[in-house]
């Protein structure tokens, strides 16, 4: 039996390779297990952390619209949560309202583990802007969590407004594999390429990037990287603006993203705030900085905090004309694919090694409390 403290990481259907890389560096100190599901958003291929697939209520329901509606009505859940977390020293979940956070919170005292909760959310919804079920979950998670780990100072301030006690809050920024993203080629041979990465939804701002592109020289191309429900309309909009031959939309496996950033003249994160969401961190920002790719980003949510001191250009969310101007004056005024040197202390702050050390310190902190 391992003498390392057992850590069980619960993310529901949202276990993400990009977020979970730092746990690979904890395996010599902690017995880590990632719990994923049959309906997970992303497969964990290539992640060097033990994982298991847990049964959930959602997996028992049919795929498609009817299954989604039934899941919303009944609420999702692990069907055998006690088996998943029994024997853990630490259970590490995320956010205040979801089912995969409240289930371990309700078992914490009886099973004796410490509960650690990562929080990306930067909008303090309290109970007013939550469903009745999520409002109950929030109260339980707030009461039972040993340590909250907001990913930004903005998220920390959000947690304090939600009612978390300051002495149970410790900022732990996420990290990416810096060497992986710094290893690609350093210039593009095909002219200027703008990369707009992110899920294909309205709030990621891809439409604004297309609008900006329409005002730029015809030798500038755009690659939108992601998947999601807005794909067909994004294609129609690009065609409507006469950009069919200049816009490419495709999903790219995580392991291929370093080469995408390496071929780009610029990475654009044009996120737009909506009533229920604003940009919470933007992992692609850390990846682009590691790759030395110029960045132009909106000032939505935590983006200014993440990019503070980097020299990256910011524009007001939704101001596609200002985005076009920033591109023309910045990355597109230089040779295609030209790299920039970001401050080493910023790049290293968002590395897997730095995040692993922050996580280890947080785990040791909660385990030291009797």
Q: Are 17 and 47 in contact (CB under 8 A)?
A: yes
What is the per-residue pLDDT across 145-158, written as a single tens digit (0 to 9) for each?
999 999 999 999 99
What is the per-residue pLDDT across 219-254, written as a single tens digit (0 to 9) for each?
999 999 999 999 999 999 999 999 999 999 999 988
What is the per-residue pLDDT across 10-37, written as a single tens digit (0 to 9) for each?
999 999 888 999 999 999 999 999 999 9
Distances (CA, A) of 249 to 198, 231, 242, 282, 332: 11, 8, 15, 19, 21
Question: What is the maximum alpha-carbon separation in the chain?
Answer: 65
At residue 21, the 3 state secondary structure works out as helix
d(CA 308, CA 222): 26
DSSP state of 166: G
What is the per-residue pLDDT across 49-84, written as a single tens digit (0 to 9) for each?
999 999 999 888 888 777 777 777 788 999 999 999
Mean of the per-residue pLDDT values of the chain = 94
Query: What value does the mean pLDDT take over residues 3-10?
Result: 96
Structure-token pair, residue 368: 């030291």
CATH 3.40.50.2000 fits domain 178-349: yes
Residue 1: pLDDT band with limits 50, 70, 90: very low
Would 6-175+351-368 and 178-349 be classified into the same CATH topology?
Answer: yes
CATH 3.40.50.2000 fits domain 6-175+351-368: yes
pLDDT at 58: 86
Does 286 score more than 70 pLDDT? yes
Query: What value does the mean pLDDT take over residues 127-144?
Result: 97
pLDDT at 262: 93
Q: Which sequence spans correspond to the domains of the chain?
A: 6-175+351-368, 178-349
Of residues 65 and 129, the one with the higher pLDDT is: 129
CA 258 to chain centre: 17
């Amino acid at each position: 039996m391992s003498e390392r403290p057992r850590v069980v990481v619960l993310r529901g259907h949202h276990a993400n390779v990009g977020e979970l890389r730092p746990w690979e560096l904890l395996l010599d100190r902690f017995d880590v297990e990632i719990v994923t599901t049959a309906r997970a958003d992303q497969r964990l291929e290539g992640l060097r952390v033990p994982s298991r697939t847990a049964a959930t209520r959602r997996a028992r329901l049919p795929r498609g619209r009817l299954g989604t509606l039934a899941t919303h009505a009944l609420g999702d859940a692990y069907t055998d949560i006690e088996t998943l977390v029994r024997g853990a020293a630490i259970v590490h979940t995320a956010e205040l309202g979801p089912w995969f956070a409240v289930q371990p919170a309700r078992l914490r005292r009886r099973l004796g583990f410490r509960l650690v909760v990562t929080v990306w959310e930067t909008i303090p919804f309290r109970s007013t802007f939550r469903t009745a079920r999520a409002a109950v979950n929030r109260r339980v998670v707030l009461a039972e969590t040993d340590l909250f780990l907001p990913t930004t100072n903005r998220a920390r301030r959000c947690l304090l407004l939600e009612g978390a006690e300051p002495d149970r809050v410790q900022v732990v920024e996420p990290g990416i594999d810096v060497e992986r993203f710094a290893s690609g080629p350093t210039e593009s041979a095909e002219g200027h390429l703008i990369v707009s990465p992110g899920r294909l939804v309205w709030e990621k701002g891809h439409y604004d990037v297309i609008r900006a592109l329409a005002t730029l020289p015809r030798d500038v191309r755009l690659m939108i990287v992601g998947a999601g429900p807005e794909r067909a309309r994004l294609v129609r909009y690009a065609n409507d603006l006469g950009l069919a031959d200049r816009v490419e939309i495709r999903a790219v496996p995580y392991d291929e993203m370093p080469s995408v950033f390496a071929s780009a003249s610029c990475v654009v994160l044009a996120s737009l705030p909506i009533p229920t969401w604003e940009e919470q961190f933007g992992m692609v920002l850390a990846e682009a900085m590691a790759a030395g790719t110029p960045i132009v980003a909106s000032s939505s949510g935590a983006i200014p905090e993440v990019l503070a001191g980097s020299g990256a250009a910011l524009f007001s969310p939704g101001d596609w004309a200002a985005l076009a101007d920033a591109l023309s004056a910045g990355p597109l005024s230089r040779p295609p694919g030209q790299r920039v040197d970001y401050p080493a202390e910023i790049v290293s702050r968002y590395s897997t090694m730095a995040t692993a050390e922050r996580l280890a310190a947080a785990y040791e902190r909660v385990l030291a409390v009797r």
